[in-house]
Amino acid sequence: MSMHPLRDAVAAIATPLADALGIALWGIEILVGGRMVVRVYVDAKPGAPLAGAELSAPTDLTGQTGRADDEAAAPEGVTIDQCARLSRQLGLALEVEDVIRDAYVLEVSSPGLERPFFEAAQMAPYAGRTIELTLALPHPEWPGRRKFRGDIVRVEGDTLTFLPDAAPSPDAAPAPLSVAWEDVKKAHLVHIFPDTTRPQPGGKTGQRKKAQPKKPARGGAPHDDTTD
């Protein structure tokens, strides 16, 4: 089974389970290399109040849940209990349906501060925010370049327009660049922390913090059903 059909199969099972818990499926990543990792992102439903903190609740094939991420994070609208319950239910459902026959680890988490995007429409509410994206092939206006960083200008259908933080040549000014979503290999939000380098009350100067990549906790003993 190729990766796209596998993602579709996992999504078909995860979507109603998430909906029953009052949350929404944001996207699915399949990481292959050694043991497969099935990473499921869930978020609050549109219009729902923010609640809880970012977490990650990995499970093994049988749905046993590992410990949640202990690092504090900004509210993302999904509670630890919701992710843990979805992790258990989804792990069990995938085993019953025999969706994945190889050994794998299941991870369920909120998208986090630097959330990945899985479709163009997800980016629309973040107009004006900074993103990083990688194209499948170099852009014709930028020979040899696939990776960009810039601010979202607008999203129209499956076309993303953003303003790169640089220009294709030294004598040119940055100009909006439009790309079809099908040409985007991956994209994620860039969280900019407030500038704390300026003097604070009392004469103290803070330090600008950089967003750190999320490191999901791992737990449980992954089951390899190829030995059954």
29-47 pLDDT, tens per residue? 999 888 899 999 999 987 6
Are 102 and 164 members of one domain? no
173 domain residue, yes or no = yes
Tell me the pTM.
0.72
Are 125 and 83 members of one domain? no
Q: What is the DSSP string of 127-194?
A: TTSEEEEEESS--TTSTT--EEEEEEEEEETTEEEEEESS-SSTTS----EEEEGGGEEEEEE-----
Are 129 and 101 members of one domain? no
**Domain CATH for 132:** 2.30.30.180
Are 43 and 130 members of one domain? no
Q: Structurally, how many domains does the chain consist of?
A: 2
Are 62 and 152 members of one domain? no
Range of the domain at 171: 120-189
pLDDT in tens, 115-172: 999 999 999 999 999 999 999 999 988 888 999 999 999 999 999 999 999 998 888 8
